[in-house]
Structure 1
Amino acid sequence: MKGTPAGPTGGSTSTAASGGDTPHSLQDEVLDDLTPEQLAAQWEEEKPPAAGALANAASSLVVLGVGIAAGILSMAMGLGTPATPQPGLWPFIISCVMVALGLFQLIAGRHNRDAEKFTRMSTAPLTGLVTLAAMVALMPLIGFELPALALCVIWMRFLGGETWRSTLVVSASVVIGFYAIFVLALNTSIPHLF
């Protein structure tokens, strides 16, 4: 390029002089220069600590217990036959898959080194499950609008780390969208306030 002085490495210095090289772009250049082995070694250093055999067994037992409980509840709802299924058939099939996966993980997953150790962030799925159950419990009492709005705010802001602005805009849009689809357009019997 004419009129652009060369830098010490022979490249153009106009980008650096204009403030175009940010720390992020320099970091990207460094990562681009790493070999796959060096990149894998860096990821290995940065990953959270491994869970260990006890944590693997505990998580497998939780999946196994949930699967067995779901199977029992499914049978109580009635299974029927594949030709004439009753409400419990598909939940029963899913619970059988959960039991099989839990057993497999309990037996074969003891030596798994990919599982991460339980940390403070491990409570996020439990928080999501508890808030979802609270929404389901509150819907028949006060409608779906307020519980759905609260659920979206908790999930986006506190579990997802979104900004307040995007949290409020998306949460309100989701509730309005659900109201427009399920109440106004489809006229379903979903509990609602308005």
Structure 2
Amino acid sequence: MRVQLQKHLFRTTSVVIVLAALACVVYSLSLPMGTLARPGAGMWPFLVSCAMGIAALVTLVTEKDSSAYEPLSKRTWIIVVGFALMAAFVVAFQIVGLTLSCLALTLVWLRWMAKESWKVTISLSVGLTALFVIGFGVLLGVPMPDDVVLNLILGKGF
């Protein structure tokens, strides 16, 4: 039974990805599209979702067996954990801003998923967080939600 399930799992995965892509396309259509010269908030999610859906459909149609795919193992679940962490990052980003959410994501990812030492984890997490905050927030001026840490540093409170 397990071998039979493993044999057709790649098709199930493709179907799930197609459905997720469709959901993302529908959501992106609720956002302003803009034009290619001046893209709106929905343009990139729409394009990426379409590409993801097309790739999954091609895989679904062209692949005949699962011999080229890595078998499922306990290590496979790290992908699920990675997606959950990214979802948590998106939620945290809206609530506490970029600094804390980026720091938390990189700490968890590097320490428990990548199995890095604490020294490497802390150094990279702080460095990457600073790079993203300075790069996107200061230099590029990308509009972001209120950042709890930056508000405290700038004396604006919570």
The TM-score range, normalised by the shorter chain, is 0.7 to 0.9
* Shift, 1:163, TM fit: 1.1
Counterparts of 1:11-160 in structure 2, within 5 Å, are: 52-79=6-33, 82=36, 86-160=40-114
1:178 aligns with 2:138: no
Kindly indicate whether the alpha-carbon contact (under 8 Å) linking 1:56 and 1:110 is maintained by their aligned counterparts in 2.
no
Which of 107, 118, 128 lines up with 1:164 in the alignment? 118
Distance in 2, matches of 1:174 and 1:67, equals 29
SS in structure 2 at match of 1:117: coil
Unpaired segments ≥5 residues, structure 1: 1-48
Q: How far off is 1:144 after superposition?
A: 2.2
> Which one-letter code corresponds to 2:7 in the other structure?
A
User: What's the secondary structure of 1:114's corresponding residue?
Assistant: coil
Classify 1:163/1:75 alpha carbon distance in 2 versus 1 (closer, same or farther; 3 Å): same
> RMSD value over aligned CA atoms?
2.6
Is this contact kept in 2: 1:57–1:110, CA < 8 A?
no
- Note the residue ranges of structure 2 that are not aligned, 5 or more in a row: 151-158
Alignment deviations for residues 153-191 of structure 1 (CA, whole Å, 9 cap, x no partner): 111111111111111111111122233334454555433
Aligned-partner Cα distance in 1 for 2:49–2:142: 29
Structure 1 Cα separation of the partners of residues 93 and 50 of structure 2: 30
Residue identity opposite 2:14 in structure 1? S
Contact 1:71-1:95 at 8 Å conserved across structures: yes
Contact preservation (8 Å) 2:8, 2:65: no
Matched residues, percent identical? Answer: 25
| Higher Rg of the two aligned structures | 1
